[in-house]
Structure 1
């Protein structure tokens, strides 16, 4: 859609705060703020489509290897998950209306992306003092199981987690309708990943799980075409 086809009322109906990012970055993109806003919306939609594949592939790959190592109801094993993980499973169990006879996949399907990203962390605490204990995910989840979900990667757990966390940050930003045109901040840092870099993170994560699926997703995605005229 070109600028002259945009209804005049659109810009006035968008808040100044909402358009502020686009006014700041319009010169480097050589576009008007409203044109950049529309491009940003198209980018968010395209990346959301890519993330839909990445999230399901990540969840299923991790669940498969954990099921193989710890049985289908691995998420109910009290020795595996830390407090945050147990709370997420309890919520998924309740929200899915599960009971002891329900298929394990009902809970798995309800577990949010953040849960799977947390499983790639070092692990946290569980229980109350004096029984409070630490869960070490390197020993209980990564080495026995989760590393096999990423056969295309030779990296350690922390490095895989870093990429997955950046992808999750993009997902959250899009879910909250925040601009992506200026990139996405790397969690815990002041560094920003450009739209092209964060899209490559999606492709990298999926490719670590399955190279053919990663190549297919890269070919299918509309994001590179939208970024063809990106500055720098």
Structure 2
């Protein structure tokens, strides 16, 4: 039984900040439930999304790592000519945080890299070095065409489209990680676009299907998120 399946104690609402509940007061009419009930439903949605994201993030990470390993070897991340400054900084941090060793397995470092790192690899690439020696890394030429596009055999093969979906999924992950409300949708950073919970769930399934159609179909059927959205009063 979920938190949203039974009325909470009267003492709960006063213990939640007015600022936090304000979001639920604004969205409660559209959902057709009291604000405190929407708050609890939002928690159930976040928990369900967290399980969905657990599949999507690992699938994405391993698919990209497998292709980069095949093209550049198991220590592709150590190639100074491959990644931009942002990517190299993420590698350095993961190396320190995971206490990696020169002769250690690459899997230790790969598992430490956050989802943002992998999504960034699907961008067009940034810069490396400082002026006057600053140079651009063109990920289309070094990462996407020779390696990463093969991680998404069921996609359109257009890097920007794959990145857009992965970026939206990452935006949801960040909101959930920071315990931010999702009942009003998820705004995509850098835009005014807001994706509803149902649309974001579709993005997760799409991203996984692009890597593996059977796994994506399984996730679509087994995920509890659509059940929560379907059974919501609205």
TM range (shorter): over 0.9
Determine the structure 2 residue equivalent to 1:93: 95
Q: Which runs of 5+ in 1 are unaligned?
A: none
Determine the structure 1 residue equivalent to 2:198: 196
Determine the structure 1 residue equivalent to 2:158: 156
Q: Aligned-pair distance for 1:231?
A: 7.6
Q: What SS does the aligned partner of 1:181 have?
A: coil
Q: 1:105 to 1:156 in 2, by over 3 A?
A: same
Q: Aligned-pair distance for 1:4?
A: 6.6
**Deviation sequence 1:97-153 (CA, Å, 0-9, x none):** 112110111111111100001000000000122221110000000000000000010
Q: Does 1:66 align with 2:63?
A: no
| Aligned 8 A contact 1:3 1:34 in 2 | no
Q: 1:20 to 1:71 in 2, by over 3 A?
A: same
Q: 1:56 to 1:3 in 2, by over 3 A?
A: closer
**Deviation sequence 1:82-109 (CA, Å, 0-9, x none):** 0000010011111111121101111111
Determine the structure 2 residue equivalent to 1:177: 179
Counterpart selection for 1:77 from 53, 76, 79: 79
| Aligned 8 A contact 2:42 2:182 in 1 | yes
Determine the structure 1 residue equivalent to 2:217: 215
Counterpart selection for 2:41 from 39, 42, 66: 39
Q: Does 1:18 align with 2:44?
A: no
Q: 1:213 to 1:4 in 2, by over 3 A?
A: closer
In 2, distance between residues paired with 1:230 and 1:189? 28
Please tell me the root mean square deviation across aligned C-alpha atoms, in Å: 1.4
Counterpart selection for 2:116 from 89, 106, 114: 114
Determine the structure 1 residue equivalent to 2:137: 135
Determine the structure 2 residue equivalent to 1:124: 126
In 2, distance between residues paired with 1:124 and 1:21? 36
Q: Which runs of 5+ in 2 are unaligned?
A: none
Q: 1:4 to 1:209 in 2, by over 3 A?
A: closer
In 2, distance between residues paired with 1:3 and 1:12? 20
TM-score by length of 2: 0.96
Q: 1:155 to 1:226 in 2, by over 3 A?
A: same
| Aligned 8 A contact 1:113 1:168 in 2 | yes
**Deviation sequence 1:167-223 (CA, Å, 0-9, x none):** 000000000000000100022111110000001100000000000000111111100
Determine the structure 1 residue equivalent to 2:188: 186
Q: What SS does the aligned partner of 1:182 have?
A: coil
| Aligned 8 A contact 2:168 2:188 in 1 | yes
